[in-house]
Structure formats: C-alpha cells, structure tokens
Amino acid sequence: MSEVRTRAPVFAGNWKMHKGPRDAVNFFARFTEAYAAREDRTVIFFPPAVSIEAAARALRQRTDVRLGVQNIHWEPTGAFTGETGGPMAFQAGAHYALAGHSERRHGMGEDDATVARKTRAALDAGISPVVCVGETLDERRAGQLERVLSRQLGTVLDALAGDPRLARVLLAYEPVWAIGTGVVATPDDAAAAHGFLRALLREKLGVHAGGLPILYGGSVKPDNAADLLNAKDVDGLLVGGASLDPDGFANIASVDTVRAPGDL
C-alpha cells in the first residue's frame, strides 16, 4: 500500500534564551506585517517561557501562528523549582513543546528515557511534542548516524507503542555539529537522515508514518532555506538564530516547496 503525502510544511522558530516579553511583543508587531497568513503551512514560535503569555496576546488576531515552549517537565505539577509543567504551558498559550533538543541533551544531560517521558507529558497536556534527534560530529565521523537516530527515536516510539496520540508528534533532525556553528548539512545530507527516519517510522507505525512531519534544524538561513525544504523527506525547518529577525524569518516561512504530493 503506497503512502499519500499529506504533510504541510512546518516552519518553527526557536528563540532559545532570547527576547523577553517586551521584545516578543515588538517582534510580532513587525513579523505580522511582514508575513501574510497562509493556509498551506504551519508556523510555530518557541519563545522563552517567560514570554509565552506576552507572545500569545500579541498574536490574538493571528490564529495562523502558533506557540510552543522550549522545555517541559515530565510531571504536570510538583516541587520542581525552575521547571514548567505541561498543563501550565498549555494554559499560557502553548500548543507545542520541544523535547530532546540537543542543547538539553548535551548541555543539561537529558537522556533518551527523559525525552520519552517529556514527550508523553506533552501529549498528556494536550500539547504536540516536537521530538529532536541528531548525532554529534564524533558520532557522524564514526559512522554511527543510523545507530544514534535509531536509539533516540526508537526509545520514544517504544514508550508510546500503540498510543494513537503518536499522530500528534513531530520530529526534528538536528545534526549537533550544525547547530549554531554556521556549518549546515547539505540537502543531500538532510535527505539521507530524513529518509532513514521515515523508514524507521514506517517500520514502527506502518502506513500511519506518512503523516508525521520531519523538520530539519541546524544553521538554517534565508539563503539556504529553500534548498533544504525541497530536499526529499524534509517537511519543514526548525530555525534558531535566524528566527530572531522578523523579516528574515518571514522570508523563510514564505518559502514554497516544489515537491509533488506523494513524494516520500
């Protein structure tokens, strides 16, 4: 049975530790002028948690632009100083949550099991998780790309085996060696990794695998966004530094895909 491509492109901006509430309001005042609403794509911003409510207020008239949080705890509430629970994030206006971003994995020591717990916590809160996977430069040089991706994605899929909410999960392939370095994977590099991830999804989920978008993240800029987006099996872009510029990200989010439906 062949798959039919139903995935609309996704453009996500991760602000990391940038832009407080006032900055977020100013950003969206400009972005909403520069970017015209479109029904053929999804646009998501991940501001810092302290800016979520300000961003939500600034976007009241723009239901085409969605918000997410950069991190949630695996418990909904509790004595976890400095953490944000999924229900709290949802209440503040978040509909998406990053899980397993490389800066959390390698900077905060989060392992695959923790990422799986956070993925489930997001689903429990009514939030769609964006599960990030990717290899380090040493792992890539050692030829371990497929082994690393299999472990990272497999842990999440195994933890949610049989859960129909898997249909709400998004994936993001972010080679660690290309994040914040200015070094970007070529379209062929991205297509190869995304194709492997798509094959893993088919193995675990069957024909339902065709509905889960896989984003590419890693030094995406306005001048390389189109080539990356149009690589085979790349369904969207997770943008870091370039998402801090409202005009630049408006250009990225306006990129069109030239791939035909069914191009999987």
- Chain centroid to Cα 153, Å, comes to 14
SS3 42: strand
Indicate if 39 belongs to the active site: no
| SS3 state of residue 131 | strand
Catalytic residue among 101, 103, 135, 194: 101
209 Cα distance to chain centroid: 17
C-beta neighbour count of 33 within 10 angstroms = 11
Residue 38 carries which side chain, given as an amino acid letter? R
- Based on the residue annotation, tell me whether 101 is a catalytic residue of this protein: yes
Longest CA–CA separation in the chain, Å: 51
Where do the H-state alpha helices sit in the chain? 21-34, 52-58, 86-92, 102-107, 112-124, 137-141, 145-159, 187-205, 225-229, 246-253
Cβ contact 262:2 at 8 Å: yes
Q: Is the dihedral of CA 29, 34, 39, 43 positive or negative?
A: negative
Left (φ > 0), alpha (ψ -120 to 50) or beta: where does 73 sit? beta
DSSP 162: T
Tokens of 163: 């859960």
User: Which listed residue (103, 135, 174, 194) is catalytic?
Assistant: 174
87, 77 in Cβ contact below 8 A? yes
Distance CA 16, CA 174 (A): 15
Q: Which residue numbers are catalytic?
A: 101, 174
